Amino acid sequence: MEGRLQQACDALLPGSTPEDFDRSGLLADGATSDREIIFNLGGYKSGSTSVNGAMKKLGLRTCKTAWNDVPGAGVMSFDLLSIAKFQANPVQGDTPLHRAVLSECDALGDAPWPFLFPTLMRAFPKAKFILTRQPTCADWVYHVSGLWQSGAWGGALLDQCWYGSRTPNSTALWHQRCVDTERAIVLTARQLGRPLLVLPTTANHSVKWAALGAFVGRSQEAAAMGDFPYAHTMEKHREGEEAPADPVDDNADLFAGHELQIVPASGAAPAERRTAHLSQRGEVPASTSQDKLARELRILRGEPATAPPGSRSRA
């Protein structure tokens, strides 16, 4: 990428990793909105379309701008320059993306919203956030590769910017970006005190309805529901290509013991064992990695991200 596209990509990425989730200055003018809206930050093939359908059943105006639910927003949802224009001033504007957020929708999911979470969590302090996810990032890469192989694919430049390659066939890049994005979302929600509901695809129907209903303030309506919606989006796999066997959940420390979790309101699961897990894979050789893990632990415990001078980390 070159010129304006590279500038748009460079503006999109800050605050989106475990290394820099707590950086300041991510809102250009510091303007915020009191709009009470719900953003689903789950990526492609994370169960986001099913949750969109569930919220619609609960009476919410749900929109997938990538599917052009708001006229004119379809192409913009994958276009780096359009996303950059929204990001520059998310609380004021008249583009289709602005209209979706500021007036036309109660809940939003799919592109571009997962890529904008550092901005959204800061610009909309009264918003609620959902993270739909596969059991592991290895499972997610398998399913999103099937989506790409089916031919149902749109934002090549957006994906190149976020994941480091245009297609999920670059498995290692997409897998690591999945891990880092999930961690950064949870850590940012913790630090800013934003309500975050984690909805795994593997949760049973009644549990999903109860958690989602309580989260969006529609418990009575949710209690009357039957099967949770299942939206089958396109997926095609090569002959002999199978889902990963016994994959490791790199983010298990964020969710262990919690099938569902509202992040600011519930204690986080202990994360110390993540250090041992990464060490076994040879991924924590440097003190900077240890510092990163210590900072994550402080955030997950509800402590300041930076340890006071002279204090010793409990990691």
- Structure confidence by residue, pLDDT tens digits, 212-229: 999 999 999 999 999 999
Domain contains 238: no
Q: Phi then psi for 196, rounded to 5 degrees?
A: -135, 120
pLDDT of 147 reads: 85
Task: Please check the confidence at residue 132 and state whether its pLDDT lies above 90.
Answer: yes
Question: Residue 129 corresponds to which tokens in the numbers above?
Answer: 């956030």
Task: Please check the confidence at residue 38 and state whether its pLDDT lies above 50.
Answer: yes
Other beta carbons less than 10 A from residue 293's beta carbon: 20
pLDDT tens, residue by residue, 290-305: 465 555 555 555 556 5
Q: Phi then psi for 41, rounded to 5 degrees?
A: -95, 5
Residues 19 and 81 in one domain: yes
Its pTM stands at 0.84
Is residue 114 classed as helix, strand or coil in its secondary structure?
helix
Total domains, the chain: 2
Alpha helices (H) along the chain: 3-12, 48-57, 73-76, 80-88, 96-99, 117-123, 137-149, 156-163, 171-192, 205-216, 219-223, 252-255, 272-280, 287-300
Q: Phi then psi for 122, rounded to 5 degrees?
A: -95, -35
pLDDT of 273 reads: 36
- For residue 73, the domain's CATH number is 3.40.50
- State what percent of residues in the chain have pLDDT above 90: 63
Q: Phi then psi for 49, rounded to 5 degrees?
A: -70, -35
Average pLDDT for 39-62: 96
pLDDT of 150 reads: 81
Residues 149 and 70 in one domain: yes
pLDDT of 156 reads: 80
Question: Residue 173 corresponds to which tokens in the numbers above?
Answer: 């890049």
Segments forming the whole domain that contains residue 178 = 3-233+247-269
Residues 280 and 261 in one domain: no
pLDDT of 255 reads: 73
> 134 falls in which pLDDT band (50, 70, 90)?
very high
CA distance 235 to 144: 8
Question: Residue 172 corresponds to which tokens in the numbers above?
Answer: 């290692």
Residues 170 and 206 in one domain: yes
Task: Please check the confidence at residue 178 and state whether its pLDDT lies above 90.
Answer: yes
Other beta carbons less than 10 A from residue 37's beta carbon: 20
Residues 86 and 170 in one domain: yes
Residues 72 and 205 in one domain: yes
What does the DSSP 8-state code read for residue 235? -
Residues 283 and 251 in one domain: no
CA distance 287 to 245: 32
CA distance 304 to 286: 23
pLDDT of 258 reads: 52
Domain contains 100: yes
pLDDT tens, residue by residue, 232-268: 888 888 888 888 998 999 998 887 655 566 655 333 3
Domain contains 241: no
- CB 7 within 8 Å of CB 84: yes
Average pLDDT for 117-144: 95
CA distance 151 to 7: 28
Domain contains 19: yes
CA distance 114 to 215: 19
Residues 160 and 26 in one domain: yes
pLDDT of 289 reads: 47
pLDDT of 261 reads: 63
pLDDT tens, residue by residue, 67-91: 999 999 999 999 999 999 999 999 9
Residues 258 and 305 in one domain: no
